[in-house]
Amino acid sequence: MIRELLLKVQAFEQEAHRILSRHEASRSRVVVLDNTYRKLDRLSLRQDELLRQALRCAEAELYRAAHVMAWAGFMDFLEEKMASDGLAKLATIRPKWPHGSIEDLREHVVEFQLIEACRELGLATKNEVKALQGLLNKRNECAHPSNFYPNLNETLGYVSEILSRITTLRPKKL
């Protein structure tokens, strides 16, 4: 009897979130994004934690912080992807860059340049590179003093696009 009641409560909660997620100011919209996030697999523990922090920031209405954390998760994914061959292909297209480790890359190469290298590595088209640069610019607006104060809709859209970009990049080989 208690188990049956719990199942009904869970079903009610899921249905309530489905209905409320359509309303702009509803906290249930974050739950919908969380459901999207759960569909992603094969993220590293660090990427998983960074994206979970982005979701927690959105739930707490810390929208600028959510942008920053989502971007950090994406960059960790991208850098791992670029290093999946031991940085060999990156060394051929950018011989002057440090190639000892991902940490060297993170320390000495700015994110904009890493994104630009994606095209030559075969990870992104020209339009995809521009879209990633736009996401970086949005992150920069949130990470540095500016008059940009994203709302829930903008934040959920940003995090959703980050997750979509990871999904698109995941199957690509260097």
Query: What structural domains and CATH numbers belong to the chain?
Result: 1-39 (no CATH), 45-169 (1.20.120)
Helix %, strand %, coil % of the chain (to 5): 70, 0, 30
Pick out the chain residues at pLDDT < 50: none
Q: Sort 39 into a burial class: Cβ within 10 Å, 0-12 / 13-18 / 19+.
A: exposed
Q: Which of 31, 37, 76, 54 is nearest to 143 (CA)?
A: 54
| Residue 33 neighbours by CB distance under 10 Å | 20
pLDDT at 42: 76
pLDDT at 29: 60
pLDDT at 10: 81
Q: Sort 20 into a burial class: Cβ within 10 Å, 0-12 / 13-18 / 19+.
A: middle
| Residue 142 neighbours by CB distance under 10 Å | 23
